[in-house]
Amino acid sequence: MWNFVKPKNLTFSEYQEQISNQYKDDNAILALFDTSKYENKEGRLANVTFTIKDNYATEEGVTTSGSRLLKNFKPQYNSTVFQKLIDEGAVPLFKANLDELAMGGTGTTSGFGIVPNPIDRTKQVGGSSSGSAFLQAIDAVDFSIGSDTGDSVRKPAAYINRIGFKPSWGLISRYGISEFAASLDTVSYFTNTVEQAALLLEILQGKDEQDLTANEDNTKFSEELNTNKKYKIGYWPNLVSNLKDKTIETDITLLADKLKADGHELLEMKLHDDLFDAMLAVYRIVALTEAISINSNLTGFLFGESGKGKDFNEQSINTRSENFEYEVKKRMLWGAYSAYESDLYKRALDIKEQLIIEVNEVFERMDAILLPSTPIKGNNMDGTSSSESPLDDYLWMFNANGSPSITVPITSTTVINTSVNIATAKGQDLECLRLAKIVEGYNE
């Protein structure tokens, strides 16, 4: 199942140093773990290597969330995800960079430098899980842990030709994660195969006294992947046909033909145009209003750097002004306005609820939804993009309703490939992984 990317002739420490030195100018790595604490353990992940996004608390070292304000913050505990992985024998190699406070989708807004796309350095790697994506793309680790608020793992996965999986909300404990928006954030990760994604879910899922939203599911995901089921799949042909990158349209059409030939049924689906058009605005209002609340303690008094000032307000203003990057400042202002204008937030919640109802109604008629992961194969590093498609931000609908959602490459080239996203109803993670395995098989 695992390729064990570390060469046998190197120790974990030697391998860490080799990767760190080779890619030191790419800003993907924020810190190295002391591997002597974790190697040669028993478990289902014995000596399997991984990187973890630096918004997960680890007792070793600092946890910065990509912000200079938190550059000296040292948690006194491990996040549940990190603890479960090391308990199963996995060896952490790197703490990975991210867009500051997970507020970004580009890999360009961290307080610790821009992370490029190693497959095509003229393109963005995506975010906010940029460092995790980079390290997975160069095969520095066997798997990479990220977090996903709107598409922060699934979209970068499409840009690096890897699997990006967001399980159902509440299936994995979020204890120890510095979140962007708690109602949307989900533990997510990059792997090289669907089977690996299934095993990680099997290990990470479960109740947690520290997170009462975490639920138990004893499904043996990795053992129950294979199926002869014929799926009813929702398909959005009008959006696919409007993609500016026609290679994506061609590739998805070929995939649809393969699925039909294998006996699966593809059914046309459509959301109301007004609801679809409002999705980005609703996402920003809901997520950023939550972000204002979650990050209200970042004043300099409790964590990290402390600005100068004659009183609490002045010191807080100076701390944030000196340490936050532009993107976070901008989003904080948006969030503050949304929180102040309570009617705006309530209206956004109402539209979010309508979106959830419509998506769930689709899942009552269909087993899964199959759509492009991205409208184009990466935004340019200078910030320009040839896409203005609603598909830029549609993946967050599966954060809104808590559905499992997975990105799977469907072509094999030496550049950025075409990927699709598969989603199923909340709690139907096994079916999501099963269909992803079928789609993955067409590309082998």
Structure tokens at 59: 């007792």
Question: 71 an active-site residue?
Answer: no
Question: What is residue 409's three-state secondary structure?
Answer: strand
Measured between alpha carbons, how far is 131 from 116 in angstroms, rounded to an integer? Answer: 9
Q: How many helices (H) and strands (E) does the chain have?
A: 13, 11
- Annotation says 321 is catalytic: no
**Exposure b/e, 76-113, CB count within 10 A at least 16 = b:** eebbbbbbbbbebbbbbbbbbbbbbbbbbbbbbbbbbb
Do 265 and 232 meet the contact criterion of CB atoms below 8 Å apart? Answer: yes
Alpha-carbon separation of residue 294 from 43, 72, 181, 284, 354 (angstroms): 35, 19, 7, 15, 25
Are 402 and 169 in contact, with CB atoms under 8 Å apart?
yes
| Catalytic residue (one of 67, 110, 128, 178) | 128
358/349 Cα distance (integer angstroms): 14
Amino acid in position 255: L
Q: Is 316 annotated as catalytic?
A: no
Its sign, for the CA torsion 350, 352, 355, 356, is negative
Cα distances (angstroms) measured from residue 60 to each of 1, 43, 227, 314: 29, 21, 42, 33
Task: Report which DSSP code applies to 102.
Answer: G
Instruction: For residues 368 and 239, give the distance between their C-alpha atoms in angstroms, rounded to a whole number.
Output: 17
Among residues 361, 442, 407, the alpha carbon closest in space to that of 194 is found at: 407
Query: Choosing from 65, 67, 152, 178, which is the catalytic residue?
Result: 152
DSSP codes, 141-203? SSEEEEEESSSTTHHHHHHHTSEEEE--TTSB--TTB--S-TTT-EEEEEESSHHHHHHHHHH
For the annotated catalytic residues, the residue numbers are: 53, 128, 152
